[in-house]
Structure 1
């Protein structure tokens, strides 16, 4: 994915990509939907600008739909990852040029504070 591809997804999908980048920076990839949902909730709590662009808030179902859409658009890779209980669950990894995406998201005033927080 290039930064130009961001035009193909809505702000919520961009927000989910930002959460996945945050998880990848913590070396916690591939990610499950519940991990992404938790980071999305944390980001909203920390950065007010994000809350205004996510009407209705973040739900796990909404994140699952976003992950599926991003995977179908070849913006995420999908694999199966076993849980500690031995259950196979879908897991996602980034298929993007992370620095370019962060630069592009940082140009949007709604994402800029969160991007800076994730970078540093």
Structure 2
């Protein structure tokens, strides 16, 4: 999207975007907040560099807020995905080029190792 700018969001929001991309690499799209929260926790366990971006840890509510704000910033698009019980739940997918996000995050030393792993997983 033309107005989307990853530089305009804080490190936590970038971290959430990276988690959405990681889920996308697993062909699990569109994504729900609980899936994104789980990937955020996994990435924190795996990459110490990411800890400083998440003071206080990751909560589902923080992720829900970040997903909503990323959608408002035109970085994510909201989709509706029906649950097995028939409820419509918000789900999100990237609204900008994945490679552009990964390139921008790879330039940040805090994200670079996680970006490399996600790129390796896609190959």
The two structures share one fold, judged by TM-score above 0.5: yes
Following TM superposition, the consecutive aligned residue runs of length 4 or more in structure 1 with deviations greater than 2 angstroms are: none
Where does residue 117 of structure 1 map in the other structure? 117
Residues in 2 aligned to 1:59 and 1:16: alpha-carbon distance in whole angstroms: 12
Q: Partner residue of 1:37?
A: 37
SS class of match (2:84): coil
Please report how far the alpha carbon of residue 67 of structure 1 lies from its aligned counterpart in structure 2 after TM superposition.
Answer: 0.4
The 3-state SS of whatever aligns with 1:39 is: helix
- Residue by residue over 1:61-84, the C-alpha shift from the partner in whole angstroms, topping out at 9 and shown as x without a partner, is 000000000111111111110111
2:55 alignment partner, SS class: coil
TM-score, structure 2 as length reference:
0.92
1:79-99 deviation digits (Å, cap 9, x = unpaired): 110111221100001011111
Deviation at residue 21 of structure 1 after TM alignment:
0.4
Aligned residue for 2:61, secondary structure, equals: helix
Give CA-to-partner distance per residue, 1:34-73, whole Å, 9 cap, x none: 0000000000000010012211110000000000001111
For structure 2, the 5+ residue unaligned runs are none
Q: Where does structure 1 lack aligned partners over 5 or more consecutive residues?
A: none
Alignment partners' CA distance in 1, 2:114 and 2:106: 8
Q: Paired residues, what number?
A: 119
Query: 1:74 maps to which residue?
Result: 74
Length-normalised TM-score, structure 1: 0.94
Structure 1 position 110, deviation (Å): 0.2
